[in-house]
Amino acid sequence: MDQDALRVDGLFLSRSGRTVLSGVSFALAPGSFCGLIGVNGSGKTTLIRALLGLLPADAGGIEGAARGHRALGYVPQKIDADPYMPLRARDVVALGFDGHRYGLPLPSRRRRDRVAAMLAAVGADAFADRRLGDLSGGQQQRIFIAHALVREPQLLLLDEPLANLDMPSIAGIVSVLKRIARESGVTVLISSHDVNPLVGALDRVIYLAGGGAVSGRPDEVLRSGVLSRLYGHHIDVLRVHGRLVIVPAGETHPIAPDEPHVERLE
Amino acid sequence: MTLLSFLPAGFLDSGPVQRALVTGAVAAVISAIAGVLTLIRGQSFAGHALTDVSAAGGAAAVLFGAGPLAGFLAGALVGGFGMETVELRRRSERDLVAGIMLGLGLGVSALILGRIVSSGSNGGAPVTILFGSLFILPPGVILPVSICGAVAVVLAALFTRPLLLAALDPDLLTVQGGSPRLMRLVHLTMLALAVAVSSLTVGAILSTAFLIGPAATATRLSARPGRTMALAAILGLIAGWGGILMSYKSYDWTDGHAWPVSFCIVALIVAAHLLLPPVFGRLLKPRQKG
Ligand SMILES: Nc1ncnc2c1ncn2[C@@H]1O[C@H](COP(=O)(O)OP(=O)(O)OP(=O)(O)O)[C@@H](O)[C@H]1O
Ligand SMILES: [Mg+2]
């Protein structure tokens, strides 16, 4: 048996002929809650699509216990469905259960129970019978998480699920995901351009920059020295009133590293 | 037979009327199912472009002395699979390809119909191809029309779930082990069958109305996939049969200048779309808990 849920080794990925990631390596332990952090365009979506098998790798390997269609759950960064799509929230989750199957969807108690359990797990009972297009962004996000979880994947990949959400929704979704990772042993990889909403919950950070990646515990990775080596130039990692701020040195920024309420993480 | 007593005398005994009713019903049902899928995939315009390529096919079939149905079907398939071969990077590019396809289809139709008319062999061909020929269908049409209907219904029954999932997001289907490409081909085939049979009914140009109208009304009335398709089929059937009856009766209302059946069907489709969602949309909304 494979020790890691996922192991990425020297992975090279490109889009339209341009190299996006060159030689990225990391491993995810089963049941861990992992953050994929990087600025816009750093390659988070590209990496997630490659892990899902939606994008071929130029070189390098992706291995681990959580491989293949049965083992993967996916929440895309953006779903632009028709607002009149005739699907209730509940139907979307049911499509996660058996939407790839052929034939008429005969009534099934197993499917109904699984769907109901997932809707409850993500806190979507109240709007389960409403049309998908009538739900808010945060409500849809919960539905797509339930959709991805209903087949009980070993690895759940979520692409920027927290973008466009307010603070209470972010806290709600992070705690739902954290609980699912803990209770059912699912490995969760969640991408975000901001580390702050996640940092308290993460077991592991994979930080993307300049086509490369560093990974480790948050307190190992989110340090000036580590990120400076990754970026190839000096980076300040500052803690300001408990919030992490990652700034290239010399960039005009409202926070001066030497002010008293600012802590610099070497 | 009190239920049917409002029908004109001899209405159901007439061979042309029987053929019109069967063909209209098949067109309504396939168009409803294919139409809902076309709407939710955001491909209404591509569906419309397909009807114009289909018109060119129908015209070509008439030019060579064949029945228009095979031509409509061949045209729609060629148009659909032609569009499919073009690599698309985003949805909006499909409108561009469809627009070019539409122009090409209508241009070729104009060329072929012009040839037919100037040869003096069939002056009615343009109206038949573009606006339908429901009351002058030959007896042999029932079998091919029924086969088209049966194939479309079987495809829908087999592929509804992956078609819906792919419409939501093709990547979700891929991740679950399905094939979005296969779903595109299935949808195109259903679309071609729907366009071909409705072109016989309301004509190539108006077949979009049959495809999109009842489906659009149904998606506003129901939020459940199976019910939406069934509702679209019922609405299409009512408009189709109602339009046939209305056209038949209009002979009496207008002292001899009967309204074309295409006009009657489309008028009913539009009336349903304008009236039903505001009246029933609220009633059919699910009860909201919490
Ligand atoms: N379809 C595409 N064709 C060509 N290049 C692309 C395409 N998609 C992304 N890229 C490029 O690949 C790089 C990585 O993009 P990617 O979408 O993976 O970034 P990301 O980290 O997910 O960004 P964001 O935070 O904005 O979602 C970017 O430089 C982008 O310009
Ligand atoms: Mg992205």
Q: Residue B217 — pLDDT band, cuts 50, 70, 90?
A: very high
Residue B48 lies in a domain: yes
Q: Residue B193 — pLDDT band, cuts 50, 70, 90?
A: very high
Asked if residue A255 lies in contact with residue A238, where contact means CB atoms within 8 angstroms, the answer is yes
Q: Does pLDDT of B46 surpass 50?
A: yes
Rounded-to-integer distance, Cα A93 and Cα A53, Å = 22
Mutation site for A-interface testing, chosen from B154, B169, B172, B173 by largest number of A Cβ within 10 Å: B172
Nearest chain B Cα distance for residue A124, angstroms: 11
Q: How far is CA B66 from CA A11, A191, A261, B187, in A?
A: 59, 59, 86, 27
Residue nearest atom 6 of ligand 1, based on CA coordinates? A15
Q: Which two three-digit tokens encode residue B55?
A: 């018109």
Nearest chain A Cα distance for residue B82, angstroms: 24
Residue B108 lies in a domain: yes
Whether residues B168 and A52 touch (CB distance < 8 A) is answered with no
Question: What b/e sequence results for B102-127 when a residue is b if at least 16 CB atoms lie within 10 Å of its CB, and e otherwise?
Answer: bebbbebbeebbeebeeeeeeeebbe
Q: Does pLDDT of B289 surpass 50?
A: no
Mean pLDDT over residues A128-144, rounded? 90
Asked if residue A14 lies in contact with residue A123, where contact means CB atoms within 8 angstroms, the answer is no
Nearest chain B Cα distance for residue A140, angstroms: 12
Q: Does pLDDT of B103 surpass 80?
A: yes
Long-range pairs for B251-255: beta carbons < 8 A, 24 or more residues apart: B252/B8
Of the listed ranges A246-250, A252-256, B158-162, B174-178, the one predicted with least confidence: A252-256
Which pLDDT score is estimated for B159? 95
Mean pLDDT over residues B174-178, rounded? 93
- Beta-carbon contacts of B260 under 8 Å, excluding residues fewer than 6 positions away, are B131, B132, B247
The single-letter code of the amino acid at A39 is: V
Measured between its terminal Cα atoms, the distance across chain A in Å is 38
Mean pLDDT over residues B202-222, rounded? 89
> What confidence tens digit (pLDDT) does each residue in A8-59 have?
999 999 998 899 999 899 999 988 999 999 888 889 999 999 999 999 988 8
> What confidence tens digit (pLDDT) does each residue in B119-171 have?
877 777 788 788 777 788 888 889 999 999 999 999 999 999 999 999 999 99
Q: Residue A251 — pLDDT band, cuts 50, 70, 90?
A: low
Whether residues A100 and B157 touch (CB distance < 8 A) is answered with no
Which pLDDT score is estimated for B290? 36
Asked if residue B200 lies in contact with residue B244, where contact means CB atoms within 8 angstroms, the answer is no
Q: Residue A254 — pLDDT band, cuts 50, 70, 90?
A: low
The single-letter code of the amino acid at B242 is: G
Which pLDDT score is estimated for B288? 46
Mutation site for B-interface testing, chosen from A88, A98, A100, A115 by largest number of B Cβ within 10 Å: A100
The single-letter code of the amino acid at B107 is: G
Residue B287 lies in a domain: no
Of the listed ranges A23-27, A198-202, B82-86, B209-213, the one predicted with least confidence: B82-86
Q: Does pLDDT of B286 surpass 70?
A: no
The single-letter code of the amino acid at A190 is: I
Sheet containing A59-63: give its strands across.
A18-28, A6-15, A59-63
Q: Which residues of chain A neighbour B35 with C-beta distances below 8 Å?
A: none
Asked if residue A13 lies in contact with residue A69, where contact means CB atoms within 8 angstroms, the answer is no
Q: Does pLDDT of B198 surpass 70?
A: yes
Q: CB of A53 within 8 Å of any CB in chain B?
A: yes
Pocket of ligand 1 (CB under 6 A): A 15-16, 20, 38, 40-46, 77, 160, 193
Which pLDDT score is estimated for B145? 92
Q: Is A254 left (phi over 0), alpha (psi -120 to 50) or beta?
A: alpha
Q: Which residues of chain A neighbour B159 with C-beta distances below 8 Å?
A: 102
Q: What is the A264 CA–ligand 2 centroid distance (Å)?
A: 29
Rounded-to-integer distance, Cα B272 and Cα B220, Å = 12
Which range marks the domain in which residue B93 is found?
Answer: 14-277
Which ligand 1 atom minimizes the distance to the CA of A16? 4
User: How many Cβ atoms from other residues are within 10 Å of residue A65's Cβ?
Assistant: 17
Residue B6 lies in a domain: no
Long-range pairs for B178-186: beta carbons < 8 A, 24 or more residues apart: B178/A99, B178/A100, B183/B159, B184/B84, B185/B81, B185/B84, B186/B155, B186/B159
Which ligand 1 atom minimizes the distance to the CA of A18? 5
Q: Does pLDDT of B209 surpass 70?
A: yes
Mutation site for B-interface testing, chosen from A16, A95, A101, A149 by largest number of B Cβ within 10 Å: A95
SS3 A207: strand
Rounded-to-integer distance, Cα B225 and Cα B230, Å = 9
Q: Residue B192 — pLDDT band, cuts 50, 70, 90?
A: very high
Residue B188 lies in a domain: yes
Residue B176 lies in a domain: yes
Mean pLDDT over residues A119-146, rounded? 90
Phi, psi of A155 (to 5 degrees): -130, 125
Q: Does pLDDT of A219 surpass 90?
A: no
Mean pLDDT over residues A248-255, rounded? 63
Higher-scoring residue by pLDDT: B91, B71: B71
Residue B253 lies in a domain: yes
pTM: 0.88
Query: Which residue among B40, B162, B286 places its CB closest to the CB of A82?
Result: B40
DSSP state letters, A83-97:
TT-S-BHHHHHHHHH
Q: How far is CA A243 from CA A11, A197, A255, B62, in A?
A: 32, 9, 12, 74
Query: Which residue among B175, B216, B225 places its CB closest to the CB of A69?
Result: B175
Residue B282 lies in a domain: no
Highest mean pLDDT among B66-70, B115-119, B234-238: B234-238
Pairing of strands A204-209, A33-37: parallel
Which pLDDT score is estimated for A111? 92
Higher-scoring residue by pLDDT: A196, A227: A196
Interface confidence (ipTM) of the complex: 0.88
Query: Which residue among B164, B171, B227 places its CB closest to the CB of A99?
Result: B164
Tell me what the pLDDT averaged over chain A comes to: 86
Rounded-to-integer distance, Cα B69 and Cα B199, Å = 8
- CATH, residue B100: 1.10.3470.10
| Helix extents (H) in chain A | 44-51, 89-98, 109-121, 137-149, 167-184, 196-199, 218-221, 224-231
Higher-scoring residue by pLDDT: A210, A189: A189
Q: Helix and strand tally (H, E) in chain B? A: 11, 0
Asked if residue A77 lies in contact with residue A160, where contact means CB atoms within 8 angstroms, the answer is yes
| Number of independent structural domains in chain B | 1
Which pLDDT score is estimated for A26? 92
Beta bridge partners of A9: A61
Rounded-to-integer distance, Cα B169 and Cα B180, Å = 9
